[in-house]
């Protein structure tokens, strides 16, 4: 019973991840209540982001410069590449302020069930990069899911011939979490990844 | 560290009601991952909704036809007007399938603390409507908040000279809710609004 243009807008919002029907309605009515100039700015933001943002030709992350800010930063250590699933993961890593290397974004993980193979990911680009540059270490920072693990192992196998050190980020109990409420898989990984305490 | 066009898009989403920073990031990246045509369709949906949707000259609800679908429906009883705060409330009432009258949308409530007076709402339009048409009953369906109550009382006072029956929707325990967990104000209203059981 909503006017068709509103119903259409609600549908658009409802398609977004994590947005339910009620949220979509609230968001659509928020847009309807905006001054015309702000609604226009919102529509433009979508358009501009889509038009000006491209994949960095080096790391395949989203960027509006070529190469991206990280790849063109002289202070970054180009010999260490952190392989992540998505551009969002780059941001998550950057927030730690602990990583001074560069990234490579796969744009997904190998998932036969979803019909996603290595050719659907930025795997070739990674191999070309490792072949062309002087890379010393590749950190596999895909998620600790079945697909993330499989992808990390697959890439590790592919990259072995290059004689580069390949590592996997540690999985274990999150800082601040309670042992009692940690699932057994995580706990097993935490146990497996234990380190000697050096005093 | 996000590319500026992405950061801008995230900001736009984050301004929406009920959308936190993390959701805004997820939504922005969802848009980035859309095919260009779909992102364009999304931007257009915002623009078209904003450009084609106007206020119904009769009930002041959102519409893309003049008058709106409800006001132009011959099966609707024009003698009964249900006054609601927002266009969304029209939809909520319609979902009950119990109301065959027409609506009047105020687009807010009187709230001196927010500087919103009767002139900021569609009050004049309601008075003109009651003066011009043969209205028998006006149902105040504003929310049971302090402002909603005050607005209902204010309008009731304004409308009294027209000699029209003015009613207020009932407030009480929601269907399916537990007496034990119902707040005392609602419980008091439920008690106050009790009806005799006729067998």
* Burial class, A120, CB count within 10 angstroms (exposed 0-12 / middle 13-18 / buried 19+): middle
Number of C-beta neighbours around residue B43 at 10 A: 22
- Interchain contact, A49 vs B16, CB within 8 Å: no
In this structure, are residues B83 and B129 in contact, taking their beta carbons and an 8 Å threshold? no
Q: How many A-B residue pairs are in contact by the CB < 8 A criterion?
A: 146
Distance from CA of A82 to the nearest CA of B (A): 17
Residues of B in contact with A18 (CB under 8 A): 23, 26-27
For β-strands B54-55 and B62-63, DSSP reports them as antiparallel
Residue B101 banded pLDDT, cuts 50, 70, 90: very high
- Which of A87, A11, A10 has its CA nearest to residue B2? A87
Whole-Å CA distances, A34 to A24, A37, B86, B100? 15, 8, 14, 31
- Interchain contact, A16 vs B26, CB within 8 Å: yes
In this structure, are residues A167 and A155 in contact, taking their beta carbons and an 8 Å threshold? no
Separation of alpha carbons B45 and B51, rounded Å: 10
pLDDT per residue over B137-170, tens digit each?
Answer: 999 999 888 899 899 999 999 999 998 999 988 8
Separation of alpha carbons A121 and A101, rounded Å: 21
Pair of tokens at residue B122 = 């569609």
Optimal mutation site among A1, A2, A8, A72, interface B, most CBs of chain B within 10 A:
A2
Give the mean model confidence (pLDDT) for residues B68-74: 95
Query: For B173, phi and psi rounded to 5 degrees?
Result: -75, 130
pLDDT per residue over B174-190, tens digit each?
Answer: 877 787 777 888 888 87
Whole-Å CA distances, A134 to A56, A172, B71? 19, 31, 72
Distance from CA of A39 to the nearest CA of B (A): 7
Number of C-beta neighbours around residue A135 at 10 A: 22
pLDDT per residue over B29-47, tens digit each?
Answer: 999 989 999 999 999 999 9
- Interchain contact, B68 vs A3, CB within 8 Å: yes
pLDDT per residue over A49-79, tens digit each?
Answer: 999 999 999 999 999 999 999 999 999 999 9
**Chain A nearest-CA residue for B40:** A47
Q: What is the pLDDT of residue A109?
A: 94
- Interchain contact, A17 vs B4, CB within 8 Å: no
The conformation of residue B16, written as its DSSP 8-state character, comes to: S
Q: What is the pLDDT of residue B16?
A: 92
What DSSP letter does each residue of B103-135 carry, written as one string?
EEE-SS--BGGGTB-GGGTTHHHHHHHHHHS--
Separation of alpha carbons B27 and B21, rounded Å: 10
Separation of alpha carbons A87 and A103, rounded Å: 9
Distance from CA of A46 to the nearest CA of B (A): 6
Residues facing B104 on adjacent strands: B83
Separation of alpha carbons A55 and A65, rounded Å: 9
**Chain A nearest-CA residue for B14:** A27
Q: Which range has the top average pLDDT, A142-151, A186-195, B113-122?
A: B113-122
For residue A159, what are the contacts with CB-CB under 8 A and spacing of at least 6? A126, A127, A130, A138, A166
Q: What is the pLDDT of residue A193?
A: 80
Whole-Å CA distances, B106 to A34, B55, B148? 17, 11, 11
* CA angle A36–A40–A46, rounded 5-degree value: 150
For residue A57, what are the contacts with CB-CB under 8 A and spacing of at least 6? A66, A67
Optimal mutation site among A49, A56, A88, interface B, most CBs of chain B within 10 A:
A49
Residue A177 predicted with pLDDT over 80 = no
- Interchain contact, B9 vs A36, CB within 8 Å: no
The conformation of residue B62, written as its DSSP 8-state character, comes to: E
Q: Judge if ipTM > 0.95.
A: no
Residue A16 banded pLDDT, cuts 50, 70, 90: very high
Optimal mutation site among A47, A75, A89, interface B, most CBs of chain B within 10 A:
A47
3-state SS string for chain A: CCCHHHHHHHHHHHCCCCCCHHHHHHHHHHHHHCCHHHHHHHHHHHHHHHHHCEECCCCCCEECCCCCCCCCCCCCEEEEEEEECCHHHHHHHHHCCCCCEEEEECCCCCEHHHCECHHHCCHHHHHHHHHHCCCCEEEECCCCCHHHHHHHHHHHHHHHHHCCEEEECCCCCCCCCCHHHCCHHHHHHHHHCCCCCCC
Mean pLDDT over all residues of chain A? 90
């Amino acid at each position: 019973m909503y006017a068709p243009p509103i119903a259409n807008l609600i549908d658009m919002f409802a398609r977004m991840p994590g947005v339910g029907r009620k949220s979509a309605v609230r968001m659509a009515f928020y847009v309807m209540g905006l001054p015309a100039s702000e609604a226009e700015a919102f529509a433009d933001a979508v358009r501009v982001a889509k038009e000006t943002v491209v994949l960095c030709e080096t790391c395949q992350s989203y960027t509006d410069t070529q190469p991206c800010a990280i790849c063109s930063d002289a202070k970054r250590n180009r010999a260490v590449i952190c392989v992540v699933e998505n551009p969002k993961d780059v941001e998550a890593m950057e927030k730690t302020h602990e990583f001074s290397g560069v990234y490579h974004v796969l744009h997904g993980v190998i998932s036969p069930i979803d019909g996603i193979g290595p050719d659907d990911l930025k795997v070739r680009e990674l191999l070309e990069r490792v072949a062309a540059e002087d890379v010393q270490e590749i950190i596999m920072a895909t998620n600790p899911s079945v697909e993330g693990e499989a992808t990390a192992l697959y890439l590790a196998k592919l990259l072995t011939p290059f004689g580069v050190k390949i590592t996997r980020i540690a999985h274990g109990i999150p800082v601040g979490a309670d042992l009692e409420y940690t699932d057994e898989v995580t706990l097993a990984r935490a146990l497996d990844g234990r380190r000697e305490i050096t005093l």
